[in-house]
Amino acid sequence: MVRVRMSDVAARAGVSTATVSMVLNGVNGKRISPETQQRVREAAEAVGYKPNSVARSLRTQQTRMVGLISDTIASTPYAGRMLAGANDVARDQGHLVVLVDTERDAEAERLALQALNGQRVDAIIYACMWHRMVEVPPGLPEDAVLLDCAPVTGGRAAVVPDERAGGMAAVRELVAAGHRRIAFLDAEERFGLVASGLRYEGYLAVLAEAGIEPDPALHVRAEPVAGGGREAARRLLDLPAERRPTAMFCFNDRMAMGAYAEAHRAGLSIPGDLSIVGYDDQQLVAAELDPPLTTIALPHYEMGRWAMEVALGVRQADPAVPHLMPCPIIRRASVGPPPAQFGD
Amino acid sequence: MVRVRMSDVAARAGVSTATVSMVLNGVNGKRISPETQQRVREAAEAVGYKPNSVARSLRTQQTRMVGLISDTIASTPYAGRMLAGANDVARDQGHLVVLVDTERDAEAERLALQALNGQRVDAIIYACMWHRMVEVPPGLPEDAVLLDCAPVTGGRAAVVPDERAGGMAAVRELVAAGHRRIAFLDAEERFGLVASGLRYEGYLAVLAEAGIEPDPALHVRAEPVAGGGREAARRLLDLPAERRPTAMFCFNDRMAMGAYAEAHRAGLSIPGDLSIVGYDDQQLVAAELDPPLTTIALPHYEMGRWAMEVALGVRQADPAVPHLMPCPIIRRASVGPPPAQFGD
DNA sequence: AACCTTCAGTTAATCGATTAAACACACCGC
DNA sequence: GCGGTGTGTTTAATCGATTAACTGAAGGTT
């Protein structure tokens, strides 16, 4: 791996490095004769010249690198989709992404920010792997973009999923199928999930628009994992027949997985006896349940793209209010009409 | 964000930039009086000096950045664990990781390599998200490290999971519980998974060491997803009672998920009537099945660490042969003794 | 007194590009 | 013959650090 410098190209082409630079960068204000351009290009090709971005960055004050600080890359399967979205945009714009995982540690965050600042990255994205409200870490540049989190103080470009609309889409799907007794298997409040309140708002909004009186007994809370979903489903199925739900909207796909298990135990078929909608479109799971789960997808890829587009100035953002990214419904096979005795 | 240069610190402390550099970098061969050191440090603190790594890199010819080329960050939930391992080591060594996703496209790979080379990263890791044999892309430096893949031609430092040992651990667990009729729910050959052959080798090796004659009817293949697992399990459970397996070793957790479903349909309890072991320890799934799945974990985090350690020279690797990373068994609740009538 | 060491720093070259300003030359008009 | 204009290219400063080589003063030796 020999290092070829611009001066090597210049020497071979019999010109100065200035000329080489202008030719190779296609500087348009300057006029270089076509013959010289040709010679320079051939020389560069011949010696296998590859520009040294470090030197270029020093001079131009841009590194064409974007820092991506994330609170956890390891522990969620969604992280990849965000990274992919951000990465695709970065690539198209000729940028590279520098990834730092801070594991939600304030000191690590400080260090990361310092390192990225030292590397003079052109922009910074601060990403969370769960939709959260965050205290913006001190030292985060004004123009940093927040991804899947919103600043408690406001005033930063940020993108989060439109959880309320997602909740509405889920419940509308059930209402459209004819259900009127629709349960919401929510996460317990102690987990402090902002998604929980918003999805519930969506749930209530659609019931209202459909003229359905919400039944408090159908809003149950549990741990947002399969076990919790199972337990919540059991409580609902234990209700007297006339108060029992014909459909369940689950806070996430894992709870839906638990609800499936409990439905099977109770001898109920899905969607014949019970319809279920999840949330997250968790890869390797939602599509593999039996029957495949109708769910609301979290738009991680799109949010990753959005954040990178704003970071690189391809798109403008209003820092006053977080951008709400739509959560599309993924229709599979877990929703059907309510059982006959409940039909109308 | 004012840019403070070293010369600003030097001016404030009344010394030259050389002195500032020596003090701040703790160059030990050089002697700077304690008082001067003190003054320099105070000046640096006062003006908020942060070194410009771009300039430093240009001079020292090291960037303290490592390139990580991956074939897909988006589509697998394991990617995060690899990244986390690599990232942790990089951080401890004062390095940053630059991530590029090539989506298995040769042209994108070429571009990525060129970009990383241009940025003069100190090392390169080439990562796959499924254990594969790969053609090393042209232009990949000699000292690049392969992660979760092995070069078809050999000769590069590489790390892959020890699939054979993992298969052995899985089957030993079942043998130890008393099973003798153990099925292997394998992936179909057309998927070209190197893990498949190796896990099967492990399966056969343990049967041999336990003195169990392998029954070809118990080696079934299907698509390595839940549906495939279900179908494979059905074929096995349809066998006449005396040839039916009492335990199933599944190629992956998704197939195990299908096997669970089929077992329930057949009215079999796990692990009372049927024991199951998976592979992958897929997050958000293996632990959430009911009962929680005993499985073999893929050591993604450890492989990520190993690769980064080798890349940064913290650890030596033998390029002649890929390093085999152990796959630990994760004991949960899906393995028990065989049903009484099969006991001995 | 002449010479050598040691100490505490400074000077200046260097890394490899970019780019404003200067320069050389040809051509043109009067 | 002289200034003006255009063209094509070079010169040299610059980005912000690192570091080998040097300097100048103080102290020690013979």
Burial class (CB in 10 A: 0-12, 13-18, 19+), B101: buried
Q: How many CA atoms lie within 13 A of A16 on its CB side?
A: 4
Task: Collect all residues of chain B within an 8 Å Cβ-Cβ radius of residue A99.
Answer: 83, 87, 97-99
Cβ A254–B288 below 8 Å, yes or no? yes
Record the tokens describing residue A338, joined without a space. 């309510």
The answer to whether B40 and B23 have CB atoms below 8 angstroms apart is: yes
Stretch B99-108: mean pLDDT: 90
Report in angstroms the alpha-carbon separations of A72 from A108, A304, B241.
12, 15, 49
Judge whether residue B44 contacts strand D, using its CB and a 7 Å cut-off: no
Inform me whether the pLDDT recorded for A28 exceeds 80: no
Distance CA B63, CA A123 (A): 18
Is the CA virtual torsion B275, B277, B283, B285 positive or negative?
Answer: negative
- Chain A residue numbers with beta carbons less than 8 Å from the beta carbon of B282 are 284
Closest alpha carbon to A146 in A124, A175, A176, A117: A124
Q: Å from A298 to nearest chain B CA?
A: 14
Cβ <8 Å between B73 and A96: no
- Position A308 scores a pLDDT of 98
Q: Looking at residue A344, what is its pLDDT?
A: 47
Mutate to test the interface with B, among A3, A4, A24, A54 (most CBs of B within 10 A): A54
Give the pLDDT confidence of A111-144 residue by residue, as tens digits.
Answer: 999 999 999 999 999 999 889 999 999 999 999 9
Ordered structural domains, chain A, with CATH: 6-51 (1.10.260.40), 65-161+300-325 (3.40.50.2300), 163-298+329-342 (3.40.50.2300)
Please tell me whether any atom of strand D lies within 7 Å of the Cβ of B25. Answer: yes
Q: What's the rounded Cα separation, in Å, for the pair B239 and B38?
A: 82
pLDDT band of A74, cuts 50, 70, 90? low
Which pLDDT score, from 0 to 100, does residue A342 have?
57
At A264, list the tokens: 């099977």
CB contacts < 8 A, A to B, total 151
**CA dist., res. B310 & res. A14, Å (int):** 43
List the structure tokens of A49. Answer: 């010249």
Q: Which residue has the tokens 């050999």?
A: B154
Percent of chain A scoring above 90 in pLDDT = 88
B225-273 pLDDT, tens digit each: 999 999 999 999 999 999 999 999 999 999 999 999 999 999 999 999 9
Question: Of A232, A236, A229, A249, whose CA–CA distance to A171 is shortest?
Answer: A249
**Which of B6, B63, B73, B295 is the mutation pick for testing A, counting most A CBs within 10 A?**
B73
Say how many C-beta atoms besides its own lie within 10 A of residue A313's C-beta. 11
Name every chain A residue with its beta carbon within 8 A of the beta carbon of B283.
Answer: 75, 77
Straight-line distance from CA B86 to C1' D9, in Å? Answer: 49
Question: Does any strand D atom come closer than 7 Å to the Cβ of A17?
Answer: yes
- DSSP character for B139? T
